[in-house]
Structures are given as C-alpha cells and as structure tokens.
Amino acid sequence: LLAGKDVSAALQDWFDGRLAASRRDLSAARQKWQSGLAKLTGLPTLPPCQFPEPPDASFRNLTPPELLSGFADVTVQVVAWTVGGLQQYGLILAPAELVPGRQHRLILYCHGAAFGIPNSFCGWLAEHLVRQGYVVIAPAMRGEPLYQMQVPVNGQELVSEGEIENLDGEVDDCLAMLAAAWKLPYVKPDEFAMLGHSFGAGVGLLTAARAGDKAKAVVSYDAWLVNPQRFYWDRMRCGANNWLSWEDFCNQPVQAQLQGLKKRSIVHNAGLLQAKLLLFMGGGYDGSVFHLSHNDLLQELQRLNKPCQYVLVPDGDHNFVLRDGAPARFALSKQQEFLRRYFPAK
C-alpha cells in the first residue's frame, strides 16, 4: 500500500473480512483475511496519474480593493471565478499603491482545513509578504466559507460551491485562481510561490507539482496527507484518526480508492515538482503520521535528486504558524531568508 502497489485484490478481501466480522461470522472473516494475505506477492505498481491541463479562469470582482484593517499600505479584494462549473471565492491582497507598468511577483496562500481563510492571518500575510512587495492570492477552496469568521460580502456570507474533496478538486481551484491572477496587469505572469499550512499545504504541494516550472518556490507548514496511503493505513490498523472522512472515502470501489490515494499523494507525484522546497514540521509532536509521511517524501525526493530543506521546529505543534510565539518566529526567519534567495519580491 505505502509503495503504491496494486493491492486491490487483497484490500477487497480485507473489507469483506471486516463485513463478515461485523456479522459475527469470525470464521468467514479469518478466511477472507488469510486469502488477502496470499495476494500480496508479485504486485504490479499502480499506473502513473494522468493529469489534465491546468484549468483557465478569470476573476469577477465582488468588491473593490479596500484597505485591510490595520494597514494603510495593503488592500484586500474579494473575487470569484469558476472552475469545473463551480463558483469559487477568494481574496487578493496587494500593495495599496500600484505603480502603472510594475508587475509584482505572486504568492498563492493555501489555508488549513476546512473552515475558510483565517481572518487574523490576513494581517500576517500583509505584514510579511505584501509589504515586501508580493501580491498574495488566497482561495477559500470548494465547499468552504470565504472566512473562518464569516464577514458578509454585499450582504451575503460566501461559501464556495462544491464539496470538500481532500486534495483532489481543491488543486484545480488553486490552478484556476493562478490562471486568473496572471491576467491582472499588476501581477507578473506564469510564475508563483506557494505558502500553505496543513490541509492547504497538501493542496499547495500538489498544485506546485501540476504547475511544473511555473512554481518557483514552496513553503509548507505541517502539510496534511503528504502520503495518503500512510494516513489510510493508520485508519485500517485502528491507529490515530488523522483522516476524519476516511469511512466515506472507503465507500468507493477499492480500485478507485487506490487511484484516489495516488492522485492525492505528493510522495507518488514528487517527480513533477520543479520548485525549490522548504518544509516545516512542528517538533512538539514528532513521530506522528505527519512526520512519517514527510520522511517518505524526503526519501523520494532524495531518490529523485531533488533538493529540499526540511526543518523540524522546536516545540512547534501542528498550528504553530497561526500564533505569534517562539516556534512561529523561528520559522518565519527561515521562511523569509528562503524567499529572498529563491523568490525575491524585487
């Protein structure tokens, strides 16, 4: 499973055994599980994922650029766009004084799941990115509200259409928002850096992979589902529950499950990455499935001869980047140094 092999026959026996056990037919359950064990030799590798071309999109402005609260030099604007027939919402944070003819480098911010863009983090983006000269775009992503603490826009609380797809359709949401942002006259087209946290970092890594050489730099904070197969295995063995919707995912046929895992796995799509990589993980919960999945990614990147900076942040928990504390300040200095080196604003 972790190696991306086609274990569909054995996995079907495992599910059949679980069903028999739920009916208290333990003899039939054991028979199925023994049958499954016998099917775990000589397994082929699952075929590589075939991704379509990134979607195109254009923005519809829902608000004019307005000064961000507490900032006289940064504006925030609410925009909408359509991808796969679904209307999505997001934010553009930009310098208040846009010089005609000047194009700013673009950063895609992908927030953690699954309740919209954290209101308080907009100030962090403004202070540490926009004030440096970047333009930041932030998609809410499908099935999620625009803000964690909803703020009515034109009298309406906005929720992006669709359902949360756990690193599948959300990648298209980001690719489409990038395509729309590159059409803005004040944005330098066809390049970007990604900064993301947790769920969003997982989405952002896959977005960078599918964007190819247009993705120049990636800053990932405690990415979720880096190796979905490992999270899936944790649920199979009744381990830690870090995938709350796993039961719903398992309602699919087993072959669709395996292909879905591989499509969502940056470990198994690492060969597509061309960006410079900076991966943060909180050191305060070292040894979790998050860390094990990052180790899987680091090993695969090393096998592919793709350099990567991996930083275990002292005393950092999963959400350390969202709070002003020693772990966040430690990581921020490394982040800014990384961006200055590989994706400078000017």
pLDDT tens-digit map of 174-210: 999 999 999 999 999 999 999 999 999 999 999 999 9
CA distance 296 to 33: 27
- pLDDT value of position 114: 86
Q: Please write the tens of the pLDDT for every residue from 106-138.
A: 999 999 988 999 999 999 999 999 999 999 999
Mean pLDDT of the chain: 97
Map residue 11 onto helix, strand or coil.
Answer: helix
- pLDDT value of position 251: 94
CA distance 122 to 52: 32
Q: Please write the tens of the pLDDT for every residue from 222-266.
A: 999 999 999 999 999 999 999 999 999 999 999 999 999 999 999
What does the DSSP 8-state code read for residue 73? Answer: S
Q: Please write the tens of the pLDDT for every residue from 53-97.
A: 999 999 999 999 999 999 999 999 999 999 999 999 999 999 999
- Is residue 318 within 8 Å of 198, Cβ to Cβ? yes
Quickly tell me which residue has 């961000």 as its tokens.
68
Q: Is the dihedral of CA 323, 326, 327, 331 positive or negative?
A: positive
Q: Please write the tens of the pLDDT for every residue from 153-173.
A: 999 999 999 999 999 999 999
Does position 313 have pLDDT exceeding 90, yes or no?
yes
Sequence-distant (≥ 6) Cβ neighbours of residue 314 within 8 angstroms: 283, 284, 326, 327, 330
- pLDDT value of position 15: 97
- pLDDT value of position 335: 98
- pLDDT value of position 113: 87
- The torsion angles phi and psi of 204, rounded to 5 degrees, stand at -65, -35
Q: What is the pTM of this model?
A: 0.97
Structure tokens at 3: 């190696």
- 94 DSSP β-pair partners: 75
